[in-house]
Amino acid sequence: MSFPIVRHRRLRQSANIRSLVRETVLTVDDFIQPIFVAYGTGVKREIPSMPGVYHFSLDTLEQEVKEIVELGIKAVLLFGIPETKDAIGSSGFAEDGIVQEATRVIKKLYPDLLVVADTCLCEFTDHGHCGMVHTFERDGHICGDVLNDESLELLARTAVSQARAGADIIAPSNMMDGFVQAIRAALDENGFSHIPIMSYSVKYASAFYGPFRDAADSAPQFGDRKTYQMDPANVREALREAESDVLEGADMLMVKPALAFMDVIRLVRDQFDLPLVAYNVSGEYSMVKAAAQQGWINEQAIVTEMLLGMKRAGADMIITYFSKDMARWLREA
């Protein structure tokens, strides 16, 4: 018998052979764990749309961070829920803001744990947009335009205040034009030239963010974010966005969301020689959790396959709410 000439199954016939030739491997070093921090005392409040994810007050944060460190996770991404909001998101760049205070707590307890500070204003503005807005009434409805250049100064102030509090990495997620350059200049001018920028370079206006807006209380009060976040239909535009951030001084690039945009992750990986982050976002997390709770899927198998896909597509790091789960599963393997 002359065919088949090549027998691919030879390298699949046992678990040890499959492990030996495996091309993509997940490790605990790949993951960044998001944390939501809120004011109050004794707060550990589960987010209804994100089972297993909680709001923590500063006093309960210690136990969460201890668990993260013990699992071997090297970095956390901080989001803050303020006590008050206003039109310019001033609590976002206050020296005693919730993200700043949480950063100080974490760095005092675990100096080597990397703190990545999300740099945006949507959680802190009373209108829920990622910058300053000009509002007006049209046909009886409140409308608004997000002011790009005026927002850059506020975002730069936020980044500097986060760096001053001890953040190791600044992660601007606002998608304003020129935001990387503005933040890089402000960091450098204030003595933080050593702080890297993890830019949300390719951030789509996605329906997958729904549970996060519940978690961060950041839904826009009017309109949507389609004038500054990207159209999910566009790919070439993603390369233009990433190129702008590279030229402006970004140290790391990000694609968000990840699951429906693995083609974009691959294109950005092939085009740019910078560390690349994939954000496995809230909607992706909640869909898996909901199906697992119904007994419809094997959660561990699905999560592992999903995150492997993101890494295989080209991600060097993955921001995921499954970080702790994956760290445990990897230990048990």
Packing angle between helix 323-332 and helix 58-70, nearest 10 degrees?
A: 30
Annotated binding-site residue? 137: no
Annotated binding-site residue? 143: no
* Closest to 226 in 3D by CA, of 208, 203, 202, 205: 205
Annotated binding-site residue? 213: yes
**Residue in this structure with the two tokens 């694609």, named with its chain if needed:** 255
* Closest to 260 in 3D by CA, of 211, 201, 324, 207: 207
Burial of 177 (0-12, 13-18, 19+ CB in 10 A): middle
User: Would you say 205 and 231 are in contact if contact means Cβ atoms under 8 Å apart?
Assistant: yes
Annotated binding-site residue? 49: no
In DSSP terms, 204 is beta-bridged to 230
Annotated binding-site residue? 200: no
Annotated binding-site residue? 10: no
> What are the residue numbers of the active site?
203, 256
Rounded distance, CA 333 to CA 273, Å? 32
Annotated binding site for Zn(2+): 120, 122, 130
Annotated binding site for 5-aminolevulinate: 213, 225, 282, 321
Annotated binding site for Mg(2+): 241
Annotated binding site: 120, 122, 130, 213, 225, 241, 282, 321
